[in-house]
Amino acid sequence: MTATSPGPTSGPTSGPTSSGPSSGPTADLDTPATTRRSPAEDAARRRRRWRHLPQYVAVSPFFLLFAVFGLYPVFYSLFLSLQRWDGVGPMKFVGLENFRYLLTDSQFWDSIANTLIIWVMSTIPMTVLALLIALGLNSSIRFKGVLRIAYFMPNVTSIVAMSLVFGSIFSGEFGILNWILDLFGFGHVPWLTDPWGIRCAIAIMIIWRWTGYNAIIFLAGLQALPTDVYEAARVDGASPVQTFFKITLPLLRPVLLFSLVMSAIGGLQIFTESQVLLGDRGGPGGAGLTMVLYFYGTAFADNDFGYGAAIAWGIFVVVVLFSILNWRLVQRPERGQVTIKEDAR
């Protein structure tokens, strides 16, 4: 009988000494206590979270407008380039067919060639003239402020109105320019019917419009150059020509790079001059058909919005590649710049 006595006594003894019942309530009480924050800490955290809200609200209109009028059109044009759509009927998904046709479209490649030719014909004379004007304005002359305004005025003048004026100047029969050429016995030049005459007319318009703008940019760069380098060059007996080519141009390289890159971006998007002078097709033989004019004619004259969107993306790729190439050609290695500075000293 004594063998059965440990049974009843072991039950009550083992219950309170087991780890399961005693550890459960203790763990449930301790775990929330380590992560719970006081109401004051929660309020401080909420205040820190919303303290920059007025600043975000102040700048939000820009981001909203950019999203609506900037990002949305970009993504929608990419979506549209995968469709065939006339602007009225239902869209038809064609995938990359528009881009495949773009690579074999001879008219698109002709528009690229025309744009590059006009850019070269306008950018080189414009840069040289702008640099000469900036050097003149940087010297000791009178009425600098008036001259700066006069040179900058073409850039803020309506290009549509000036295209009409230039259309009368370059007119083949009654143009002012041909009248002046007749006075000197050179005869008429078919400015708006000959391919090279068309390109020259557009290039002259671009030069007239952007020379003053670039001259002001170059003038700001010249005024920021250190004067002690020029004083050292004068002490060493350097001539003005040597000073210009060995000091001014190397130090002005960042400004020149900025001007050339911006000229490349703007020159590859020529539209108004060609469209007002020659119409939507770029004149006889398409000599004035630029990339943007070809995009405009395809999308808004032929109502082929899908292929027009593909042309727009092709223009974007050409502008990016040409800007990178322009940057690489103009920018010199850092070692070469250091050598030039040492030579100037």
Helix (H, G, I), strand (E, B) or coil at 91: coil
Is 275 within 8 Å of 296 (Cβ atoms)?
A: yes
- The two three-digit tokens of residue 226, written as one number: 């250190």
Instruction: Give the pLDDT confidence score for residue 16 in this predicted structure.
Output: 43
Is 288 within 8 Å of 295 (Cβ atoms)?
A: no
pTM: 0.75
**Angstrom distance (rounded) from CA 95 to CA 79:** 10
Helix (H, G, I), strand (E, B) or coil at 184: coil
Per-residue pLDDT of the chain (345 residues; tens, 9 = 90+): 444 444 444 444 444 444 444 444 444 444 444 556 677 777 777 777 777 778 888 888 998 999 999 899 999 999 999 999 988 889 999 999 999 999 999 999 999 999 999 999 999 999 999 999 998 888 877 777 788 888 888 888 888 888 888 888 888 778 888 888 888 888 788 888 888 999 999 999 999 999 999 999 999 999 888 888 888 888 888 888 888 888 888 889 889 888 888 888 888 889 988 888 888 888 888 889 999 999 999 999 889 999 999 999 999 999 899 888 877 776 655 444 544 445 555
Q: 159, 158, 197: which is closest to 177 by C-alpha?
A: 197
**255 class by beta-carbon count within 10 Å (0-12 exposed, 13-18 middle, 19+ buried):** buried
**Angstrom distance (rounded) from CA 249 to CA 129:** 15
